[in-house]
Structure 1
Amino acid sequence: MSVTIDIAGLPPEHLVFSPSPLAELCAALHALAEPKHHPGLQGWTTATNAALRPDLADRLCEAEFLWRSAHSDTDMPFAALPDTRGRPGATLAEDLDLLDRLDDDLFVDAALDISCHRDYEPNGPSPLVNAAVRAHALERATARGTRQAEFAQRLLTDPQAVRAWLRRLFEDCAEAFFDDLWQRVRPRLAADARHKTEVLRRKGLAQALAEMSPALALDDSSTRIVVDKLSSGHADALDPAAGPGVTFVPSSVGRPHLWVLHAPGWRPVVHYPAAAPDVPGPGSLDLLQLRMEALSHPLRIRMCRYLARSAVTTGELAAAHGITPPEVSRHIAVLRKAGLITTRRRGRYVLHQLDLTAVARLGSDFLEGVLR
């Protein structure tokens, strides 16, 4: 399954790379709500959660469905406002001002589309005016717990009050922890956006996508961006309702997730994990599957125990396991294709050794792959 973004005929200048303070705040709130998704942030999530005032922690629980399982589109309001030309605010206050500009129907629709509303569909009725859609939203919210049901009821009854409540919640989060976090990550996000813009200019979109994530690629015709996701969807980067273009938003705390906004009438947005210094990005899901299949054979597992300790020859492996050298060579070929071993020549001998770094990453690669 995948999400596709139609970019046929889109000029390169309409591809925008820019950080978003509000999107990064919501990514941080997701990490606080689901710390197991982000083992690399364990120290920060533990310390931040422990330092939250009880009243702020309770308020975050009331609205956590907006960022816990997936992201509500309310964290990228610029995508629904054509006059922004696809650029988020430079500050959290500017992003929140853009959120305030969404009309009530659009705001409620975006707030409920993740787990209380219907799937994306163009020109669907608003739950503020359609009784059947409203009842469906409340039913789905009730199935997810009392707090979510109460929030959905408040949102549908008095959206203006909830909007003001949510803005104050974000502002209190900024004071409690996000201002400090944003000050630390903003320079790196800005540098990442500048680098990707330069890659796009010099090497083209395919290379820029490859540097963002192995889950992003151009199709064979170079007219669509294809995003490897567990959901299916389609967006049109030339939709006149949202203005032409695609926005790419780097995130420091969002790794390993890759979020895609593809709602009808909204500008397509890809929220991608900015590369961390000295940390390799996860491989593709195809490579992960190849590696796991390579290690599924019991003989190759036993061979890996030898290969992990030192570099050995094909003949040594054959003697150790009581099989012929050609059989060893076939297993070595599988492990090499999966990128799990290195091979070097010493005189007339060819030595093989397990790549401990690649094997050590299998656990985190699997986690990042399934959470992408």
Structure 2
Amino acid sequence: MSVFIDITGLPQERIAFGISPLAELAAALHALSEPAHHPRLHGWTTSISATFKAELAERLHEADFLWRAARADFLLPAVPRGTLAEELDDLDQMDDERYVAAALEISCASRYCEGVPSPLVDAAARGRALDLAAARGPRQAAFVQRMLDDPPAVRAWIRRLLEECDEVFFSDTWRRARVQLAADARHKTELLRHKGLAEALQAASPALTVEEDGLRTRIVVDKLGAGRTTAAGSSLTLLPTAFGWPHLMALYTPGWQPVVQYPVAAGEPAGAASVDTVRLRLEAVAHPMRMRLCRHLARGTYTTGELADANGITAPEVSRHLAVLRKAGLLTTRRRGRYVLHQLDVSVVARLGSDFLEGMLR
């Protein structure tokens, strides 16, 4: 299972490595909302979170579905700018239907690669967005309802939130990170010019390869998920991130210019377990369907119904697979009202091996 980006006939000059403050802010916000995904950033996430006033922390929690389990597409600019303000200005030019559709993908359980219509114009998409939001709790359900009722007001609210994050912590963070990111983008650009796309992509991430099939050429993004898009007739943008590991983000929504965000550094989760425990856990995750479920559960909390819908199986089948994962000690479960939410225990999974964890979170 991979994401395929068709680049047949795409001139090399339409493939660009660049840096984006908005994309990096989104990566930083994800790390703050899911610190277990980013053990190497523990000191940074702890110190930054401690500086947040209660009101800012509450608003970040309210909007974190934009960057927590999945990344809203508009947070990965296809045309990077020099400043966050410029990228936010570009974002303001997007029409409401496109913006809201991207914002309300909610989670990896959405039908991302199908290019579903905007909830502003399609009743079924609206109902699905509200159902998914309800499973996240009353706060998010209310937020999504406001976005559907008054998109301009909520868009302005999100922009103010991102601007406040810039004032509180990100401007200083970006001043330091942009030096490393700019150097990485320059290096990959030089590799692209002098040694070709395949070598530049491999230098960016071993999960990026070029595949030629007869008359067609495509980039293969090795992720535990399936998707297809094309850069033919448009462009391809690759963005390094200092906060992203182990995630490799790929924007492949139909109708959007493809964007790939790759981490500039890697790390090794540490830990150990008994042989019997390792055996039990490896057997639990070896099943193909349970591996697919783990990919969702590694990124956030999901109900049984959401997992069934996303994977095309019945709720009882999901329950049986979850029972195996739970017996192996790989799941955490909590109740929120009438919903039971399941999530992969990333700290436990990390002890199975960094390759497996990175594959789940890529």
Q: Please indicate, yes or no, whether the TM-score normalized by the shorter chain is above 0.5.
A: yes
Task: Give the SS at the match of 1:30.
Answer: helix
Amino acid at match of 1:231: G
Partner of residue 103 from structure 1, selected from 95, 101, 105:
95
* 1:194-205 superposed matches below 5 A: 194-205=186-197
- 1:66 maps to 66
Amino acid at match of 2:128: H
Most deviating of 20-29 and 107-116: 107-116
1:176 and 2:207 are equivalent in the alignment: no
- 1:236 maps to 230
Partner Cα separation in structure 1 for residue 103 and residue 242 of structure 2: 24
Amino acid at match of 1:252: A
Partner Cα separation in structure 2 for residue 2 and residue 367 of structure 1: 16
Partner Cα separation in structure 2 for residue 262 and residue 131 of structure 1: 24
* 1:332-351 superposed matches below 5 A: none
1:38 and 2:47 are equivalent in the alignment: no
Equivalenced residues, count: 282
Deviation string 1:64-107 (CA, Å, 9 cap, x unpaired) is 0111111111202x43xxxxxxx211101011011101000010
Partner Cα separation in structure 2 for residue 3 and residue 114 of structure 1: 20
Partner Cα separation in structure 2 for residue 39 and residue 366 of structure 1: 15
- Among the aligned pairs, what percent are the same residue? 60
1:251 and 2:245 are equivalent in the alignment: no
TM-score w.r.t. length of structure 1: 0.72
Amino acid at match of 1:257: H
Partner of residue 210 from structure 1, selected from 202, 206, 215:
202
Is the contact made by 1:17 and 1:248 (CA closer than 8 Å) also made in structure 2? yes
- 1:272 maps to 262
1:120 and 2:117 are equivalent in the alignment: no
- 1:227 maps to 221
Partner Cα separation in structure 2 for residue 118 and residue 98 of structure 1: 26
Partner Cα separation in structure 2 for residue 362 and residue 151 of structure 1: 37
Task: Give the SS at the match of 1:10.
Answer: coil
Partner Cα separation in structure 2 for residue 43 and residue 365 of structure 1: 23
> Offset at 1:26?
0.5
Task: Give the SS at the match of 2:112.
Answer: coil
Amino acid at match of 2:191: V
Amino acid at match of 1:126: S
Task: Give the unaligned 5+ runs of structure 1.
Answer: 80-86, 283-291, 297-359
Is the contact made by 1:212 and 1:275 (CA closer than 8 Å) also made in structure 2? no
1:89 and 2:81 are equivalent in the alignment: yes
CA root-mean-square deviation: 2.3
Deviation string 1:31-59 (CA, Å, 9 cap, x unpaired) is 00111111110100011111111100000
Partner Cα separation in structure 1 for residue 47 and residue 122 of structure 2: 44
Taking a change above 3 Å as real, the CA distance of residues 364 and 118 of structure 1, as seen in their structure-2 partners, is closer
Taking a change above 3 Å as real, the CA distance of residues 126 and 371 of structure 1, as seen in their structure-2 partners, is closer
Partner Cα separation in structure 2 for residue 173 and residue 42 of structure 1: 19
Deviation string 1:129-151 (CA, Å, 9 cap, x unpaired) is 22222122111211221122111
Task: Give the unaligned 5+ runs of structure 2.
Answer: 270-277, 283-349
1:260 and 2:260 are equivalent in the alignment: no
- 1:351 maps to none
Deviation string 1:223-257 (CA, Å, 9 cap, x unpaired) is 00001112111111025xxxx11000010011110
Is the contact made by 1:109 and 1:117 (CA closer than 8 Å) also made in structure 2? no
> Offset at 1:368?
2.6
Partner Cα separation in structure 2 for residue 142 and residue 367 of structure 1: 28
- 1:3 maps to 3
Structure number, greater radius of gyration: 1
Task: Give the SS at the match of 1:248.
Answer: strand
Is the contact made by 2:224 and 2:359 (CA closer than 8 Å) also made in structure 1? no
> Offset at 1:220?
3.9
Task: Give the SS at the match of 2:261.
Answer: strand
> Offset at 1:125?
3.2
1:157 and 2:157 are equivalent in the alignment: no
TM-score w.r.t. length of structure 2: 0.73
> Offset at 1:120?
3.2
Is the contact made by 2:223 and 2:359 (CA closer than 8 Å) also made in structure 1? no
Is the contact made by 1:252 and 1:274 (CA closer than 8 Å) also made in structure 2? yes
- 1:147 maps to 139
> Offset at 1:362?
7.8
